[in-house]
């Protein structure tokens, strides 16, 4: 899915809940996750969690080209439809 | 081993299952029967609907173990089954029998009350009871919980100002309580996390060593994938 939408200019960024970096890097290598990750080491207390009202994983936020909230705390099965609509705009 | 001792061992009564075990068994059976009933295409709330029987069994369990923490769960699930069967009046009669001091309020009964109000199509069903609970609230934590529930009620009715006022009241009742904190998050949600609003300000380093902030969201759609290594 990500390959398909990256061509349409969609950027994927991971937001790990971890407070330690090493397990995150290991998981990325093990799972072969191809995108970059925003990591501040503050876990659920970090602003990407507290200011976005996300308190559990997995969860997904989508922003449009102007950086506006397109979808909040959504799930992977719904992502294709959201991106389809967004990239058709 | 002497025959007397052997007889004693054999005659030992089987240990009574704990309230939690009984709850687990009831819920498992209830789920199976309700699933089967739903798949048969029979209408919810008919006399043969197993939800009614299991709602009664769970309410019995609650009465047998009023002090056990599981009583709250049994109460909630009993009410949920009644509401799923469309029996809002029966659910409300049971909710009305709960004292403000009942531990079950901590198990999500206010959500069931909201659902009953929606089913009855009458917001007063919820708000009149919420007002009574507030008047009889045993402590600040309970007051915060009720104000929070009132806020959620207004959110579902898209009554934004009333929702904010109720969440503010929850914070005033107990800012450091669980529901005071959740109320803060709800106000933030109402003010800053609406669809179409700009993403909240952020500035974080990425694992690739880039500084990423709101300006970087511009020009292309972006997906944040929240995850954890564990």
Determine the Cα angle at A76 with ends A70 and A79, to 5°.
40
B211 in contact with chain A, both atoms CB, cutoff 8 A: no
Residue B4 lies in a domain: no
Tell me: do B129 and B116 sit in the same domain.
no
Picking from A2, A4, A11, A79 by the largest number of B CB atoms within 10 A of its own CB, the best residue to mutate is: A11
Q: Provide the pLDDT confidence category of residue A4 given band limits of 50, 70 and 90.
A: low
As to burial, measured by CB atoms within 10 angstroms (0-12 exposed, 13-18 middle, 19+ buried), residue B213 is middle
Residue B192: how many other CB atoms lie within 10 Å: 16
- The DSSP code sequence of A8-64 is TTPEEEEEE--S-HHHHHHHHHHHT--SEEB--S-GGGSHHHHTTT--SSSEEEEE-
Domain count, chain B: 2
CB contact under 8 A, A68 and B199: yes
Q: Tokens 């909201």 identify what position?
A: B114
Residue B55 lies in a domain: yes
Nearest CA in chain A to B226: A15
Q: What residues make up the domain containing B113?
A: 21-97+104-121
B196 in contact with chain A, both atoms CB, cutoff 8 A: yes
- Distance CA(B156)–CA(B179), nearest Å, equals 17
pLDDT in the model for residue B82: 97
CB contact under 8 A, A12 and B223: yes
- Distance CA(B95)–CA(B3), nearest Å, equals 54
Pick out chain B residues at pLDDT < 70.
1-13
The complex scores an ipTM of 0.95
Tell me: do B28 and B109 sit in the same domain.
yes
Tens of pLDDT along B53-87? 999 999 999 999 988 889 999 999 999 999 999 99
Domain ranges (residues) in chain A: 2-88
Q: Please tell me whether the peptide bond between A83 and the residue prior to it is cis, using omega within 30 degrees of 0.
A: no
Residue B148 lies in a domain: yes
pLDDT in the model for residue B16: 81
Residue B8 lies in a domain: no
- Distance CA(A75)–CA(A58), nearest Å, equals 7
CB contact under 8 A, A59 and B229: no
Tell me: do B75 and B132 sit in the same domain.
no
DSSP structure class, residue B223: E
Tens of pLDDT along B207-228? 999 999 999 999 999 999 999 9
Q: Tokens 């609003």 identify what position?
A: B197
Residues of B in contact with A77 (CB under 8 A): none
Q: Does domain A2-88 have CATH number 3.40.30.10?
A: yes
Tell me: do B66 and B27 sit in the same domain.
yes
pLDDT over 70, % of chain A: 91
DSSP structure class, residue B228: -
- Distance CA(B205)–CA(A65), nearest Å, equals 21
Tell me: do B112 and B137 sit in the same domain.
no
Structure tokens, B194: 């609406």
pLDDT in the model for residue B103: 86
Residue B1 lies in a domain: no
Angle between helices B160-173 and B178-192 (to 10 degrees): 150
Look at residue A69 and give its three-state secondary structure. Answer: strand
Minimum distance, in Å, between the CA of residue B185 and any CA atom of chain A:
7
A19 in contact with chain B, both atoms CB, cutoff 8 A: no
Residue B200 lies in a domain: no
Residues of B in contact with A5 (CB under 8 A): 221, 223
B202 in contact with chain A, both atoms CB, cutoff 8 A: yes
B201 in contact with chain A, both atoms CB, cutoff 8 A: yes
CB contact under 8 A, A83 and B224: no
Residues of B in contact with A87 (CB under 8 A): 221
- Distance CA(A66)–CA(B218), nearest Å, equals 5
- Distance CA(B75)–CA(B72), nearest Å, equals 5
Look at residue B119 and give its three-state secondary structure. Answer: helix
pLDDT in the model for residue A74: 95
- Distance CA(B180)–CA(B173), nearest Å, equals 7
B206 in contact with chain A, both atoms CB, cutoff 8 A: yes
Tell me: do B149 and B171 sit in the same domain.
yes
More confident residue, A9 or A16: A16
Residue B40 lies in a domain: yes
Tell me: do B169 and B179 sit in the same domain.
yes
pLDDT in the model for residue B147: 97
Task: Quote the pTM value.
Answer: 0.80
């Amino acid at each position: 899915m990500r390959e398909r939408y990256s061509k349409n200019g969609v950027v994927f960024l991971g937001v790990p809940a971890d407070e330690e970096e090493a397990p995150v890097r290991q998981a990325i290598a093990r799972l072969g996750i191809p995108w970059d990750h925003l990591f501040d080491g503050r876990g659920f207390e970090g602003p990407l969690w507290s200011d976005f009202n996300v308190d559990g994983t997995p969860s997904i936020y989508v922003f449009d080209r102007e950086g506006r909230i397109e979808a909040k705390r959504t799930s992977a099965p719904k992502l294709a439809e959201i991106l389809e609509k967004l990239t058709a705009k | 081993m002497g025959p007397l001792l052997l007889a004693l061992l054999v005659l030992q009564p089987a240990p009574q299952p704990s309230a939690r075990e009984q709850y687990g068994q009831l819920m498992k059976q209830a789920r199976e029967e309700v699933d089967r009933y739903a798949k048969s295409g029979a209408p919810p709330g008919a006399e043969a609907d197993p939800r009614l029987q299991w709602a009664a069994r769970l309410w019995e369990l609650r009465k047998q173990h009023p002090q056990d923490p599981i009583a709250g769960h049994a109460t909630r699930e009993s009410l949920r089954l009644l509401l799923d069967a469309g029996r809002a009046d029966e659910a409300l009669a049971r909710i009305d029998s709960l004292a403000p001091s009942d531990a079950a309020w901590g198990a999500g009964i206010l959500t069931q009350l909201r659902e009953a109000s929606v089913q009855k199509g009458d917001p007063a069903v919820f708000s009149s009871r919420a007002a009574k609970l507030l008047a009889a609230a045993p402590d600040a934590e309970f007051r915060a919980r009720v104000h929070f529930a009132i806020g959620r009620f207004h959110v579902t009715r898209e009554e934004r100002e009333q929702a904010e006022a109720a969440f503010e009241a929850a914070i005033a009742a107990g800012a450091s309580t669980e529901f005071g904190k959740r109320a803060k998050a709800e106000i933030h949600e109402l003010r800053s996390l609406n669809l179409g609003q700009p993403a909240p300000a952020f500035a974080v380093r990425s694992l690739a060593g880039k500084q990423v902030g709101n300006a970087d969201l511009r020009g292309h759609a972006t997906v944040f994938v929240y995850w954890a290594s564990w």
